[in-house]
Structure 1
Amino acid sequence: MKLLLTTLNSKYVHSNLALKYLYASAESSRRNIDIQEFTINNDDDYILTELLRKDYDLICFSCYIWNVEKTLYLAETLKKAKPDQKILFGGPEVSYDVVPFMGQHKFVDFVISGEGEGPFSEFAESMISGTPELERIRGLTYRIDGKIFVNPPAPPLVFESVPFPYLSLVCEDDKVMYYESSRGCPFQCSYCLSSIERKVRTLPMERVRSDLSYFIYKQVKQVKFIDRTFNWDRRRCAEILQYLILSDNGVTNFHFELCGDLVDEELIRLLAQARPGLFQFEIGVQSTHEKTLAACNRNSNFPRLAENVKRLKALGNIHLHLDLIAGLPYEDYASFRSSFNDVYQLKAHQLQLGFLKLIKGAPIREQAEEHGYIYRSKAPYEIISNNYMTALDLVRLKKMENLLDLYYNRGGFRRTLDFCMDSLELAPFDFYEEFADYYYLKGFQHKSHKKEDLYRIFLLYAGWKERFIPDIKNTMQELLTLDMKETLNPDAVKKFERKGWEIL
């Protein structure tokens, strides 16, 4: 029997850690298992051809909110093309409401719910043996003669028993390598699946150092830790970071998700020793509205978080990424404006304006009626409106998100944006809201723009503002020119100067 582990990643540079875990855990069955990863942007015919041409007996799909809709379409098409094709689904998007899911999608033969390493290893061995004993496999739901059978859930794994997956696979040096040193989260944020399991299971430090030494030896470009709150244990966090500082190969970057409140003096002193570019931190602020944070079971001290972010930024050697979520309970348009302004003032390298997704299994999904949530029926189940924000409010924030990504997160407009914050007599939120209104009013959203055209559009906005602030256009043109020369390569700048500021 030939098995394939596959998924659709959101981008080419991403890779799927779950598939690698499954492959490494199924040690006795590996000779019968292949791995092939695609992206959601790959053409349907290309993916279907690849899945069919090798004549696999069983194809196993790893499903998430970003890929489940396309995965379902592909799996259904596979079943039509090859009716005897066996199909297994796994992953967080299919681990909940599994019986209705299988009832609706009759082309799915098996679902593994929850952590899959143990169940999949047993399942693969059982299927390959030719005499499968499906009723013995915990966490498996399966279909026989149209009837659905649900086995008891699998117990939590001893995390240390899960092998380091990269030793049994080729290291993809052109992709982000994902790694976890712990599973679970000590916090209970209601919008997050990790809130379901409060207990944190960790790998022994000797194992962590051994695993990380592999990435360092291979000179992987980026390793992204998927630990939900990396610094929940301050001593453990410091020990790992110190090891990475001492073992730095001058190439590899390590990405972590931190709780900003828990950053302390010892961590600041340690991070001051790191090479610029060695670390990047993502800090989820989500909101600064106390009633909202309390409703989400999220304990946060924003003044302390803000001070810690400033100190991290002052080190000058760490890339900082802050997150906000629009659509949380009790956060209306006005209070979200306040949250945005609070966080923008910290001047992180990136600020992500995200939108609440009521994902399956997250506690907040059970509170939909209480807060009047209307959300999309298909993954990723993003909010449409609630009791606090209308659909139009969220559309206005979507427009702002677009401009924030184009002009702040992509970089290249530092001087001009700083000038706007200081001179336009607008709070950061009001500036992006106004700029977004202008951008959409002029129809620039209807096509993608090259980087150089973004400078031209910004100057057009400045010309519009000159009705209220005399001579601002000349000043902003000078600043945009300086930003452009710092950002674009010299040939691109010369080409821009030949074409001029008019956008065609």
Structure 2
Amino acid sequence: MSKKVSLVEINVFEKMIPLVSGYLESYASSRPEIKTNFDFNKYSSNVAIPEQQILRELIEQDSDIYAFSCYLWNTDLVRRLLPALRKEKPNSHYLLGGPQVMHQAHEHLSPEFENTLICNGEGERTFANFLGELLNTTPKFSNVKGLSFYGDGELVTTKPQERITELDKIPSPYLNGIFDDEYLMTVMETNRGCPFHCSFCFWGAATNDRVYKFSEERVRKEINWLSNKNVPFIFIADANWGMLKRDIEFSAHIAKCKKKNAAPVFVYFSAAKNSPQRVSEITEIFTESGLLNAQPISMQSLDKKSLEYVDRKNIRLSAYEELQDDLNERGISSFIELMFPLPGETLSSFKKGIESLFELRASVLVIYPHLLLLNTPLYEQRKQHKLITREVTDGSSEAALIVGTADISEEEFEEGMWFVFTILALFNTRTIHRLSYYLHTKGLERFSDLYTKFIEFCKQKEDNAFTKFCAESIRDGAYYDFTNYPYVYHLVLHQKRYEFDSLLYDFVSNQDWWADANARLLFEFDLLSKTFIYSNTDVMKPWAQFEFIDVISASDRNYTVEIPTDCLGMLDLDEKLKAKLDTDKPLFRLRLNSKGPQFTFRENQTRKANADYCYGSIMRISDFLPRMEIVDS
């Protein structure tokens, strides 16, 4: 009689191809004795499903073996499911694998449950050997490499299992018929490994540098399969997409499949750290085919000491400047990825780094919260760097947010997070952009000082929606949730747009430099040029009488304004546009036309749907900025 195996994946996203389960089943089933004696079932769910429903469905599977994939977003949930499942199925075996549990036997195993084991490292070989051992009358798990378990009251960890160097020995679960459902998203691998040693990251630490590849023929066939099955979203899981020349060819093949089958519709990847030109070529391929809206540029920090601490090297700032110019010429949006706080980073160095990117005219900044990951060098160095962590309490995650280091106190961390939220609200949305650059370049107010003063001003306005959202997000650690940051865009560009504008006006009009007429002009122009992220956001005339710009009309993402001609030199209008103006006239009229790719906001949409939309829109902010059009007076 065959033994039943449940391969359990509980993901963040709905209807996601359970690729890990597919790999495990494909590799194990390539052995005749396992294919004959085991029946596999892939259980795929997501963390939003009620816990009791997941437990009930797992019990109903009535399996002899349950294999859980454990990641930081589901491990707390798995911890609670496991005892309840064992109570109902005491004679089954339970295998836990994944980066959140490997080498953590002391946290997840106990002597009273010898039927619960942990897989340490790459799973395919260990899992197949584990099943093979279960075919014996008296299994001896000490014969299986890569396991931790209790036996006779003693914790046993066997020798490490060698990595698979010829990845095509893992039969493709895409191509052998294992996946037969309809899916919305998948992870795709073309290689495994990472040559870098960033101490905050699991990739390099887990794979010992070496990068092993799936064959080009196989990868192309898998891309074809995904496109033919109309899987809309692909997350390329390679650590450095663009590091290999063939990545360009794969990208072109994905674009070709999209043109043929209208799928996939979106691709996300982790860009190669030091191959910016190759990544630009890939981004151009994806943007031209509508698969991507911006190029990621991974920096993490601009502080030399911090980068040394985490064993990382960035592209030179001069090279970044060349890259940004190249992207601008091609009309490609970009965003810079940073992390806060890294060891060695101070609040001052963090702000200084942001200011450097401001001076280089960076487009969008994505500043990730720093999660302390298990099985990374930084986890082993946590005492050395005096890391202070805060546990995420969302009911499913087992994540630790770093909220302090030897170089940044918890109070300074909170201040840094206020700075992050202000970057989201002002920098990424292009709000008061012209004014900020003017003040900075004229020496009237440095960029970082302007934002710091705005933060202090906001804190005095406790009832303001933006202030309340930031304060609550920082207090509760809500910024861990990927819907949190994008909600800032929804708030300041739509829901509380004019309340935020009023807050800004109250702030700028009380600064010493407000006496500068050019600063007042630029603030007026900035406010009228502010991005519309939805098509149905109310368009209102300014609540206060402007000094320089007269608003003639306001309707449907359009402002028609009249501006004194002698103000022309201060405005960043296109030279071709300026050439059309009659400079002999004292005034000229301009239409700020923001009609573009905006979607309509719908009250019945989930917060996640709004967050996804707002995030994607800001990533291509240039598509949403108003077009300047001359209007005959």
TM-score (norm. length: structure 1): 0.84
Is 1:243–2:253 an aligned residue pair? yes
SS of the residue corresponding to residue 166 of structure 1 reads: coil
1:399 aligns with: 418
Describe the superposition over 1:192-241 as per-residue Cα deviations: whole angstroms up to 9, x where unpaired: 122221111112222222222222333332211111112333x2333333
2:24 aligns with: 22
Return the alpha-carbon distance in structure 1 between the equivalents of residues 16 and 358 of structure 2.
28
Q: How does 1:209-358 map to 2 (within 5 A)?
A: 209-233=220-244, 235-249=245-259, 250-252=262-264, 253-264=266-277, 268=280, 272=284, 275-279=288-292, 281-303=295-317, 304-317=319-332, 320-344=334-358, 350-358=364-372
2:436 aligns with: 421
Point out the more displaced range, 69-78 or 443-452: 443-452
SS of the residue corresponding to residue 36 of structure 1 reads: strand
Q: How does 1:70-469 map to 2 (within 5 A)?
A: 70-99=77-106, 101-103=108-110, 106=113, 109-127=116-134, 132-158=139-165, 159-167=167-175, 168-170=177-179, 175-196=184-205, 197-233=208-244, 235-249=245-259, 250-252=262-264, 253-264=266-277, 268=280, 272=284, 275-279=288-292, 281-303=295-317, 304-317=319-332, 320-344=334-358, 350-376=364-390, 379-405=398-424, 413-414=429-430, 416-419=431-434, 421-422=436-437, 427=446, 429-439=448-458, 441-443=461-463, 444-445=468-469, 446=472, 451=491, 452-465=494-507, 466-468=509-511, 469=514
Report if the CA contact (8 A) 1:421-1:428 is conserved.
Answer: yes
Return the alpha-carbon distance in structure 1 between the equivalents of residues 153 and 340 of structure 2.
42
Point out the more displaced range, 186-195 or 126-135: 126-135
Report if the CA contact (8 A) 2:92-2:115 is conserved.
Answer: no
- For the pair shown, the structure with the greater C-alpha radius of gyration is 2
Point out the more displaced range, 393-402 or 88-97: 393-402
Point out the more displaced range, 75-84 or 333-342: 75-84
Report if the CA contact (8 A) 1:260-1:308 is conserved.
Answer: no
Describe the superposition over 1:97-135 as per-residue Cα deviations: whole angstroms up to 9, x where unpaired: 424542499587111110001111232344367664433
Point out the more displaced range, 438-447 or 210-219: 438-447
Return the alpha-carbon distance in structure 2 between the equivalents of residues 331 and 91 of structure 1.
30
**What is the one-letter code of the residue matched to 1:342?**
S
**Unmatched segments (≥5 aa) in structure 1:** 499-504
> How big is the shift at 1:388?
0.7
Is 1:487–2:544 an aligned residue pair? no
> How big is the shift at 1:487?
2.4
**What is the one-letter code of the residue matched to 1:117?**
E
Is 1:55–2:32 an aligned residue pair? no
Q: 1:488 to 1:291 in 2, by over 3 A?
A: same
Q: 1:21 to 1:337 in 2, by over 3 A?
A: same
Describe the superposition over 1:401-420 as per-residue Cα deviations: whole angstroms up to 9, x where unpaired: 345456666xxx44x35345
Return the alpha-carbon distance in structure 1 between the equivalents of residues 59 and 181 of structure 2.
24
User: How many residues align structurally?
Assistant: 489
Return the alpha-carbon distance in structure 2 between the equivalents of residues 369 and 149 of structure 1.
27
Report if the CA contact (8 A) 1:160-1:203 is conserved.
Answer: yes
Q: How does 1:470-485 map to 2 (within 5 A)?
A: 483=530
Return the alpha-carbon distance in structure 2 between the equivalents of residues 80 and 344 of structure 1.
57
1:501 aligns with: none
**Unmatched segments (≥5 aa) in structure 2:** 393-397, 474-486, 542-553, 556-633
Return the alpha-carbon distance in structure 2 between the equivalents of residues 212 and 493 of structure 1.
43
Q: 1:392 to 1:14 in 2, by over 3 A?
A: farther
Return the alpha-carbon distance in structure 1 between the equivalents of residues 423 and 115 of structure 2.
41
Q: 1:313 to 1:8 in 2, by over 3 A?
A: farther
Return the alpha-carbon distance in structure 1 between the equivalents of residues 113 and 358 of structure 2.
48
Q: 1:124 to 1:67 in 2, by over 3 A?
A: same
Report if the CA contact (8 A) 1:189-1:195 is conserved.
Answer: yes
TM-score (norm. length: structure 2): 0.68
> How big is the shift at 1:336?
0.8
Report if the CA contact (8 A) 1:88-1:109 is conserved.
Answer: yes
> How big is the shift at 1:190?
1.6
Q: 1:209 to 1:408 in 2, by over 3 A?
A: farther
Report if the CA contact (8 A) 1:138-1:152 is conserved.
Answer: yes
Report if the CA contact (8 A) 2:67-2:97 is conserved.
Answer: yes
Return the alpha-carbon distance in structure 1 between the equivalents of residues 21 and 64 of structure 2.
18
Return the alpha-carbon distance in structure 1 between the equivalents of residues 530 and 351 of structure 2.
27
Aligned equivalent of 1:42, options 42, 49, 61: 49
Q: 1:110 to 1:270 in 2, by over 3 A?
A: closer
Point out the more displaced range, 113-122 or 57-66: 57-66
**What is the one-letter code of the residue matched to 1:220?**
V
Report if the CA contact (8 A) 1:76-1:107 is conserved.
Answer: no
Point out the more displaced range, 220-229 or 36-45: 36-45
**What is the one-letter code of the residue matched to 1:185?**
C
Return the alpha-carbon distance in structure 1 between the equivalents of residues 24 and 439 of structure 2.
55
Report if the CA contact (8 A) 1:463-1:473 is conserved.
Answer: no
> How big is the shift at 1:157?
0.8
Return the alpha-carbon distance in structure 2 between the equivalents of residues 387 and 478 of structure 1.
43
**What is the one-letter code of the residue matched to 2:505?**
G
* Aligned-residue identity in percent: 21
